[in-house]
Structure 1
Amino acid sequence: MLTPEALQRLQQYNFDLLAREEPNGRRRLRYIALAHLKEGKSFTEVAAALRTTRHTVARWERWFERDGLKGLGSKPRYWSNQRLPREQEEAFRVAIEQLQQKRAGGRIRGEDIRQLLAQQFDVTYSLNGVYELLKRLGLVWISARSRSPCADPIRQADFQKKVLQEVRAVLPAEVRLDQVDIWFQDEMRIGQRGTQTRLWARKGARPRVVRKQQSESAYIFGAVCAERDTAVGLVLPHADTQTMAHHLHAISAAVPEGRHAVVVLDRAGWHTTTKLPRLPNLTLLPLPAGSLELNPAEQVWQQLRDRSLANRCYDSYDQIVDACCDAWNAFTQIPGAIRSLCTRTWANLGVTDGMV
């Protein structure tokens, strides 16, 4: 029950009139509760009448005792001033990227992001809240791709925009653009030590993968043509001018009669040497320095590792060769796999058969 002093304070207001004039439903309900208390009803009786709890009615009365009618206004939820405003979401995305770029190494953690939100955006989140926010804003945990320290983003963008001019510059005069197919070429080393990648396991487990310490290795030389959905691969013991020459002859043999292959490749020494054979149906086009991300063959290697070659070890060179051949054949024989993975819109020359 209320004290006489509390009842006396309630008598100063017409809560029935205030409730009728109040547009806010929550505040109106609180006025009705105080009107019942003003009539001498207990917290329990008022709670039963309004279908709420005795604790809630008592809390409303305390608000009134402390702040008067002002205390009955809608209270901000405990987190309402602790959430990132929607108009700041894009600035937050940019801040996350800048925070990662500023690090000399490693990666930013959830706790780093929590501190960023508090210091730069003046909002407070739990760690779980941080991860929910990242998910909602489309920021995902993803493996980084390699980038050479000598890469020139401006030169790369210019190469992509002007690939037609680049092709014209290297083509023999007698070859028309409508005869050209773009191929991408690269090599991947596979050794006895192998590579480790993520794999499925029980939560809380830490899977162990055997890794040898020997150094036998082989190289997969691969070339892909997305437009023709075809590829040419060789497994060779070294990556040098001689083995590169073998691969160029294999690519040349795979080019259809009447077509000409422009082979886009990086600037490894055995790709740019003048000692390579000159083949009539094949022209080499080097990428800008340090531009491995422009070569879709890199994604082929990732597919081969993920599907077949990672998380395993090899007893001998012959076993490495067999594994490489099996992995390459299994992937390249999937209909449409090369076209799907290796198509690049910037590598489309914009010409069709029959055009001069």
Structure 2
Amino acid sequence: MGTALNIRQDFTADDLRQLARKSRDADWSRRLLALSVIYEGGSRSHAASIGGVGLQIIRDWVERFNQHGPDGLKTGKAKGREPLLNDKQRKALIEAVEKGPVPYLDGVVRWRLVDLVQWLWQEHRISVSRQTLGRELNAMGYRKLTARPKHHTQDSQVIEEFKKNFPAAVAEIATGAARGKQVEIWFQDEARIGQKNKITRRWARRGTRPSAPHDQRTRSAYIFGAICPKLGKAAALVMPWCDTYAMTQHLAEISRHVDENAHALLIMDQAGWHMSNNLVVPGNISILPLPPKSPELNPVENLWQFMRQNWLSNRVFKSYGDIVDHCCDAWRKLESQPWRIMSIGHRKWAHEF
């Protein structure tokens, strides 16, 4: 004959039934109802039949209940395997990823998973697979992203001052050349598209090496592109050369896209054909040059990257006319997606002040 079950007396059968009714965990409700039978003086067999378990499990539930109360009957999560990396090692890994490799020490110019696996072994004597390390980096919020262009000799202080002073520059245009009109903020840049084209990443079966067509001829054209991210507008010309005359034609094209009751503040780099005294600037455009060596301030750079990776790379152009046709088709496709212009072109320093 089994010994009697001693259950804590700071609860009643009604208390457990009320908790069971409020619970959305079926297993927890079942355990609470089984123990309510014990409180009413029912047999352990009766409690086991309600709980759908054996007599020993009922005894275990009572012991958990006596020690932790109703919460002791909740389903716990399995502890699982101990993590391969502790907090100190994770911090060291994050620092290594953020700083990037030192080429003459690490032998690479960018981290791949296989390189980080080797780094972990050399620095911490921890052996992990690429898949495990990839999951670990994903869990810490890291993804493999395309880097923005950055000049190696740029002055970061000049860039920050440009961002800080940008609202004042807009205000000066608003009270001067654009008096009584809305100010549209435009960005401009050029991209060379040619027969010696880029090859991008593509999906392929693991272990294979995919191929893509690659031309060695040198015919090319230039896309003169400008966007107004706030309004999702774009204006472009495809030209055979890159000079002051071509830039003048592009300014005229941008001018036609500016609203009648607006004035455009056109932000672009300090290329020679942008700053030439022979450049003809329409009356509804004011030019604001970017600081030297700061391509990351111009979102059109990211636009070229998107267009190359999705519409213009991995192609063989038959002729100059074929290049022009594909450039025009890609830009028209971009113009038909103003939300993409807004997404790629948005900059906090230029649009949120």
Give the TM-score, by structure 1 length. 0.69
* 1:63-78 → structure 2 map (5 Å cutoff): none
Q: Which residue of 2 aligns with 1:106?
A: 109
- The answer on 1:92 being equivalent to 2:93 is yes
Contact 1:164 1:349 in 2 (8 A): no
Correspondent of 1:160 among 145, 156, 163: 163
For 1:349 and 1:126, locate their aligned partners in 2 and report how far apart those are by CA, in whole Å: 44
Contact 1:84 1:123 in 2 (8 A): no
For 1:322 and 1:268, locate their aligned partners in 2 and report how far apart those are by CA, in whole Å: 26
Query: Aligned with 1:341: secondary structure?
Result: helix
Query: Aligned with 1:336: secondary structure?
Result: helix
For 1:103 and 1:169, locate their aligned partners in 2 and report how far apart those are by CA, in whole Å: 46
- The answer on 1:261 being equivalent to 2:235 is no
Q: Which residue of 2 aligns with 1:247?
A: 250
Contact 2:181 2:263 in 1 (8 A): no
Query: Aligned with 1:165: secondary structure?
Result: helix
- The answer on 1:324 being equivalent to 2:327 is yes
| Residue type at the aligned position of 1:296 | P
Cα 1:320/1:263, change in 2 over 3 Å: same
Contact 2:233 2:338 in 1 (8 A): no
* 1:285-300 → structure 2 map (5 Å cutoff): 285-300=288-303
Correspondent of 1:188 among 185, 188, 191: 191
Cα 1:344/1:178, change in 2 over 3 Å: farther
| Residue type at the aligned position of 1:237 | P
For residue 139 of structure 1, report the CA deviation from its aligned partner.
2.4
Aligned residues: 272
Q: Which residue of 2 aligns with 1:126?
A: 128
For 1:291 and 1:177, locate their aligned partners in 2 and report how far apart those are by CA, in whole Å: 32
Taking every aligned residue pair, what percent have the same amino acid on both sides?
A: 38
For residue 330 of structure 1, report the CA deviation from its aligned partner.
1.0
For 2:275 and 2:144, locate their aligned partners in 1 and report how far apart those are by CA, in whole Å: 37
For 2:196 and 2:282, locate their aligned partners in 1 and report how far apart those are by CA, in whole Å: 37
| Residue type at the aligned position of 1:137 | M
Cα 1:304/1:119, change in 2 over 3 Å: closer
Cα 1:99/1:188, change in 2 over 3 Å: closer
| Residue type at the aligned position of 2:128 | S
Cα 1:170/1:88, change in 2 over 3 Å: farther
* 1:188-337 → structure 2 map (5 Å cutoff): 188-337=191-340
Q: Which residue of 1 aligns with 2:148?
A: 145
For 2:139 and 2:295, locate their aligned partners in 1 and report how far apart those are by CA, in whole Å: 32
For 1:242 and 1:171, locate their aligned partners in 2 and report how far apart those are by CA, in whole Å: 28
Relative contact order, CA 8 A, sep 6+: which one is greater? Answer: 1
Contact 1:150 1:289 in 2 (8 A): no
- Deviation track 1:47-88 (CA, whole Å, cap 9, x = no partner) reads xxxxxxxxxxxxxxxxxxxxxxxxxxxxxx9x85x8322355
For residue 108 of structure 1, report the CA deviation from its aligned partner.
3.1
Q: Which residue of 2 aligns with 1:345?
A: 348
For 1:223 and 1:177, locate their aligned partners in 2 and report how far apart those are by CA, in whole Å: 24
Contact 2:170 2:183 in 1 (8 A): no
Cα 1:200/1:345, change in 2 over 3 Å: same
For residue 147 of structure 1, report the CA deviation from its aligned partner.
1.4
Unaligned runs of 5+ in 1: 1-76, 351-356
Give the TM-score, by structure 2 length. 0.70
Query: Aligned with 1:190: secondary structure?
Result: strand
For 1:321 and 1:174, locate their aligned partners in 2 and report how far apart those are by CA, in whole Å: 35
For 1:143 and 1:179, locate their aligned partners in 2 and report how far apart those are by CA, in whole Å: 35
For residue 264 of structure 1, report the CA deviation from its aligned partner.
0.5
Contact 1:171 1:283 in 2 (8 A): no
Contact 2:187 2:227 in 1 (8 A): yes
For residue 276 of structure 1, report the CA deviation from its aligned partner.
0.6
For 2:189 and 2:199, locate their aligned partners in 1 and report how far apart those are by CA, in whole Å: 21
Root-mean-square deviation (Å)? 2.7
| Residue type at the aligned position of 2:239 | L
Cα 1:227/1:148, change in 2 over 3 Å: same
